[in-house]
Amino acid sequence: MGNLFSIYTHSLLQTKKQKFMTKRTKLVNLLFLFAFFIISILKFEDAQPWGSDGHKKITEVAIDLILNLDKFSGVEQTKLEFLKKFLAENKNIIVERCIEPDMIRNEDKDEQYNHFIDIDRYGKYPFNELPRDKKMAIEKFGFETVQKNGLLPWRISDFTDSLAYSISKADREKMLKYFSWLAHYVEDAHQPLHVTENYDGQLTNQPGIHSRFETELVRYLMQNNALKLDAKNLKNELQKSSIVSDKVDFAFKIVLESYQFVSDILSADNYAKSLIPPEKLYRVEKRNGRTRYIYSDEYYSIMAGKLKDLINDRISKASVRLATLWLTALAESSNTNKTLMR
């Protein structure tokens, strides 16, 4: 999908602009497009989490939730006003940067382990074989195993702390990073295929389901106006929530909740496939030595029928939990810096 998208954009931009440009600007633009092309590949090719669309949507909804919040139990009013101002001013940056952790995974090999946890490698639900305390988990299984099985819940907890610290220090750059990155990890935790060993259907002969579910299906729902988030209901949900006292426990609860939906996604995929003859299920494209299976609209239409409520629910819950963790970091910060609190 990444390649298709970037090649399409590439040629579209080129034909549009060809008429007007001098040779020099053409060259500059070609270089720019080349860079864009490479970035697009990095961005989409190895994307494991919610596709970019899903990530950005959740982050945007979470920001809007805070902007519409009048008060929140446990958060001083001056702090809340500061947060609203900061998010209003930096909304676009935070929405754009929430996909950053996926983009750096090619440079930083250890980063990948922060995006998932294969919770079902630890026995049976609710997977109590795994101590929720990271130090104890490492003592029991060794660092390598714990890392290989994924660190996502602890990452969420750590980054909430880091966000609180950056707010305390009034460090604007770090705040932007931690608001955006915490968003990413909370969003990943709400994607059921981020919490299972069978993350890409490789164990059940359903390869490619990961991206079909989180990228193509989400895009299909958006294009068909089927992502319906109830702003009023979300606001109520946020008002009902409270500052998180145990962040690791909070993150693991999200993971366990997500896990319950893994089988629904896999079943929907099997169901859709059972209704569509193979020649209508997908077409094969070969590009850059890679084989791609582009699934048909018919497939996505059946998947949407089965999974649109699930996706709406995961996206809604992710935005409320994200807003809750942002508020938690805010409440925990010891911000005495008057310049930021103006």
Q: Which is nearer to Zn ion, 112 or 328 (CB)?
A: 112
Q: Three-state SS string across the chain, please?
A: CHHHHHHHHHHHHHHHHHCCCCHHHHHHHHHHHHHHHHHHHHHHHCCCCCCHHHHHHHHHHHHHHHHCCCCCCCCCHHHHHHHHHHHHHHHHHHHHHCCHHHHHHHCCHHHHHHHCCCHHHCCCCCCCCCCCCHHHHHHHHCHHHHHHCCCHHHHHHHHHHHHHHHHHCCCHHHHHHHHHHHHHHHHHHCCHHHCCCCCCCCCCCCCCHHHHHHHHHHHHHHHCCCCCCCHHHHHHHHHHCCCCCCHHHHHHHHHHHHHCCHHHHHHHHHHHHHHCCHHHHEEEEEECCEEEEEECHHHHHHHHHHHHHHHHHHHHHHHHHHHHHHHHHHHHCCCCCHHHHC
Shortest Å, Cβ 42 to Zn ion: 13
Nearer to Zn ion, 102 or 216 (CB): 102
- Residue whose CB is nearest to Zn ion in the complex, by number: 49
Give the nearer residue to Zn ion in terms of CB position, either 258 or 335.
258
Nearer Cβ to Zn ion (41/276) = 41
Least distance to Zn ion from the beta carbon of 55, Å?
8
Name which of 188 and 237 has its Cβ closer to Zn ion: 188
Q: Looking at 94-102, 147-155, 220-228, 246-254, which segment touches Zn ion (CB under 5 A)? A: 94-102
Residues 195, 260 contacting (CB under 8 angstroms): no
How far, in whole angstroms, is CA 171 from its chain's centroid? 24
Q: Answer whether 270's CB lies under 8 Å from 206's CB.
A: yes
CB of 255 to Zn ion, least distance (A): 14
Give the residue with the Cβ less far from Zn ion, 184 or 304: 184
Binding mask 30-69 for Zn ion (x = CB under 5 A): -------------------x--------------------
Shortest Å distance, C-beta 105 to Zn ion: 8
CB of residue 234 to Zn ion, shortest distance in Å = 22
- The residue among 64 and 188 lying less far from Zn ion, judged by its C-beta, is 188
C-beta atoms surrounding 15 within 10 Å: 8
User: At closest approach, how far in Å is the CB of 280 from Zn ion?
Assistant: 32
Q: Which is nearer to Zn ion, 115 or 247 (CB)?
A: 115
- Supply the minimum distance, in Å, between the C-beta of residue 197 and Zn ion: 17
Q: Contacts with Zn ion in 97-136 (CB under 5 A)?
A: 102, 115
Count residues binding Zn ion (CB under 5 A).
Answer: 4
The reply to whether 158 sits near Zn ion by the rule CB under 5 A is no
Please state the closest distance from residue 246 (CB atom) to Zn ion, in A.
Answer: 23
Q: Which stretch binds Zn ion (CB under 5 A): 182-190, 217-225, 227-235, 304-312?
A: 182-190
The residues in 183-222 that bind Zn ion, with binding defined as CB under 5 A, are 188
Binding site for Zn ion (CB under 5 A): 49, 102, 115, 188
